[in-house]
Each structure stands twice: as structure tokens, then as C-alpha cells.
Amino acid sequence: MYKRMDNAEAGYVRRMRGELSQGSHHMIVYTSEETEEQLTPFPCGGFEGIVAFDDGGVPGLDSTNTPIFIAQQPLVEIDLPEENGVPVGFRIEAHQMLLVELHWYNTTSEDRDVTGKFEVEMLPEDHSIVESSFAFWGTVAIDIPPASKGDTGVLFQRGLSDTKGFAMTTHQHALGTRMRIWDSPDGSVEGERLLVDGTDWADPPMQMFDPPVVFNDGRGLAYQCEWNNTTSDHVGFGEGFNDEMCFLWMYYYPSRGFDICVHFDENAKQGVCNHLVR
């Protein structure tokens, strides 16, 4: 649905809170360039606000929506940090339009009501601020043979130079058994700092970092997804219940815009990126 916020003035978000009822896989909130509310929920695909366009286009680069929040747990609270005493926050315009995308599932024989709630706390736009933004990285090169275990190998994505990541989480589907993320200079992981070691696909935590992870001199994140395919089918990337994913998302500052990077080839050294600057 498209929902207009009731903030009369532009400002900077300093705190976010999301609540999900039982049966929600996750909820994604985007700022949107749409001008008309659509309060009756309508069907959409997974990550529709990032990757799907009526007339074609490049994911991230041509999207009119920018993700600002993803909840994967019943309660998610994110307090943005400070940089040398200056608050970190991301900008929203007066009466900002939001796209709210709620994913759900029902494995029972009864109807299920599923709800999501999103709240923000703001500073006025004349306040000193370090602007933050959002990064979305992962791979679509997934092929897990029937009745077997599989993994992506260690993949690497270089961070935007002179930026800092302060919060990140992982995303897999039901066959996912583990996703790890390392702070890495070049894709190597031996002896490098393990940032995230997620083994719960359904309820991965949002990891906060103080001090933040610093990206300079070509540093980035190495990551690896693992699965156990207990089915009789080949499993690949997709949005469906029986498909798999391997993504991480991260809040970073100072903002260079929404940063989406995707590995399309399992042998590629890095993912293909579109740095969306607004």
C-alpha cells in the first residue's frame, strides 16, 4: 500500500520501530515518489519496490522507491548512532509518501490476520546531521541439487569508500542453515572479523556495531550462505516459498544514496552495483 505520513515538515529520522504479528515473513518500508495514496492493499512480488518495474528498468537505478526499513522479527527497534557527537539520520520530506510491503504465510487450515506497524522519531531539518542511507547486497546465483547441502562459497562486495556501516542483517528462506558476514579487505576471511553468524533463517537479528565497520582502502564485506535441501527438487533463487535467497542489508553513513549490489555469476569477483543517488 502507499501511505502518506502526517509530518508537516521535512526532517531526519533518528529512531525506527517495527512490529509484526505472527505469520509475517517480513515487512519492507520504502520512501516513494508516488503522489497518490493507495490504502487498499494490492498484490506485489518480493522486494517489489526495488526490482520490479512496469516498463522495465535497472534494479535500484530506475526505481522510484528507496528502502529505509526491513523488519524480520516481531519487534525491531533501530536507534541511529552519532558521529563525533553529531546525530546520524536519513532525510524524509514533508508528508513523505511511503510504500509498505508486507510478506506473509499461512501454514494452518484457518484464516490468519497478519499485520505490520512502522513508527519513526525525527529531528527537524535545520538540525546538524550526518545523513545515512541503505545498502542491499546479495546473490541470485543459487543452485542447490535435490537432497543435498549447498553453499555460495565466499562472495565479496567492496564498500563505498570512506563510509561506515552501523547495522546489518541477513536474509534466507526455509532451507537456509547459516549465513556469515565478515569485515574483509579483499574477500579473504581467514583471520578476519566475523560480523554476523546467522543460523535462524526465520528470525535473523539486526546486528548493531559500535564502533561502526569502516570501509576504506578497498575494504568491504565477505559473505557466504549455506543450505540443506531436504526436497526432491533443484532449488534456485526466487521469491516463492520453495525458492531461496541470500541477501544482506546494511545501514551506512555518510549517505551516497541507496546502494544495491547483486552477484549474477557465482564466479564473479564482485557483484554488479547501481549506486542510486538522489
Q: Which helix (H) or strand (E) holds 15?
A: strand 11-20
Least confident of 39-43, 150-154, 200-204, 263-267: 263-267
Tell me how far apart the alpha carbons of residues 92 and 89 are, in angstroms, rounded to a whole number.
10
User: pLDDT tens across 75-127, in order?
Assistant: 999 999 999 999 999 999 999 999 999 988 888 899 999 999 999 999 999 99
Q: Name the nearest CA neighbour of 82 among 25, 10, 24, 15.
A: 15
Tell me how far apart the alpha carbons of residues 94 and 215 are, in angstroms, rounded to a whole number.
Answer: 32
The 10s digit of each residue's pLDDT in 209-267 is 999 999 999 999 999 999 999 999 999 998 777 899 999 999 999 999 888 888 887 66
181 with 205, same domain: the answer is yes
Based on the domain organization, do 141 and 264 belong to the same domain? yes
pLDDT band at 45 (very low <50, low <70, confident <90, very high): confident
Residues 203 and 255 placed together within one structural domain of the fold: yes
Same domain, 208 and 147: yes
**CATH number, domain at 194?**
2.60.120.230
CB 66 within 8 A of CB 28: no
Task: For residue 55, give its domain range.
Answer: 2-131
What is the per-residue pLDDT for 106?
Answer: 85
Q: Is the dihedral of CA 178, 184, 188, 193 positive or negative?
A: negative
What is the Cα–Cα distance from 127 to 130, expressed in whole angstroms? 10
Q: State whether 143 and 267 are in the same domain.
A: yes
Q: How many domains does the chain have?
A: 2
Residues sharing a CB contact under 8 Å with residue 72, sequence separation 6 or more, in sequence order: 25, 26, 169, 171, 202, 203, 204, 206
For the segment 10-25, what is each residue's pLDDT rounded down to a tens digit? Answer: 999 999 999 999 888 7
Count of residues for the chain? 278
In this structure, how many other beta carbons lie within 10 angstroms of the beta carbon of residue 13?
Answer: 22
Does 77 share its domain with 193?
no
